[in-house]
Amino acid sequence: MPPINLSIDCVIFGFDNDQKLKVLLIKKNINKKNDYQYALPGDLLNHDEDLLTGGKRILKSLTSLENIFLRQFHAFGNPERTKQKKDQAWLRLYRKKPEERVVTIGYIALVKMEEYVPQAASFAFQTEWVNIKDVPDNLAFDHNYILDYGIEYLKEQIDHKLISNLLPSRFTLSQLQHLYEILLDEKLDKRNFRKNISKIDIIKKTNEKQEGVRHKPAYLYTYKI
């Protein structure tokens, strides 16, 4: 029986000052003509490492990101996931046996974009934050499917630990509500949202206000957790 390789692919979400949810993609060359494709950061697992250790190593090796929240969310094992022509071209450049099957484990990483500056390395020549609404539909392998699955997982598992990893250390209630609306994909009533947030008592108001805005500056909040 031919060997089955195991890889890790990371769906790295970030929330920026423009109140847009973004995902971190890498660019990688797929041939010697410098044609490239976008992909999620991912690579093969070493034989001597566990899944989480491998995920952290791969994430750091391709993007320089480390010491961030990681959560495993699904395994992807379609036997045809690496068989497309565009993907075989890349595999022939970087794998000794490009025909071998690869099963991948998906991890979600959540970062405050203000605190991390990704830098491409290894076979990635560029990193780019892309609005989840603008992601190309021809990512490497089955990465579009993995990304969509990760987005749905994030909606289903929404909790305050996850949210706190996507917001700046100081944020407005409008930013918080907007992030919830993005993740839940629905419009929330402002009054009810603030009432519910107040009830669960997880944020606290600071003495600071927004700066450099044309409208009336709003107070900034921070998480208690």
- Tens-digit pLDDT profile for the chain (225 aa)? 678 999 999 999 988 777 788 999 999 988 777 788 999 999 999 999 999 999 999 999 999 999 988 999 999 999 999 998 888 888 888 888 888 899 999 999 888 888 888 999 999 999 999 999 999 999 999 999 999 999 999 888 776 777 787 888 899 999 899 888 888 888 999 999 999 888 888 899 999 988 877 888 899 999 886
CB 89 within 8 A of CB 135: no
pLDDT, residue 41, reads 97
* Count of beta carbons in the 10 Å neighbourhood of residue 217: 13
Rounded Cα distance, 174 and 181, in Å:
10
Rounded Cα distance, 14 and 16, in Å:
6
User: What structural domains and CATH numbers belong to the chain?
Assistant: 4-157 (3.90.79.10), 167-223 (1.10.10.10)
pLDDT, residue 45, reads 96
pLDDT, residue 19, reads 72
Helix (H) or strand (E) holding 6: strand 4-15
Rounded Cα distance, 110 and 11, in Å:
8
pLDDT, residue 56, reads 96
Tokens 């959560």 appear where? 71
- pTM comes to 0.85
pLDDT, residue 114, reads 81
pLDDT, residue 105, reads 98
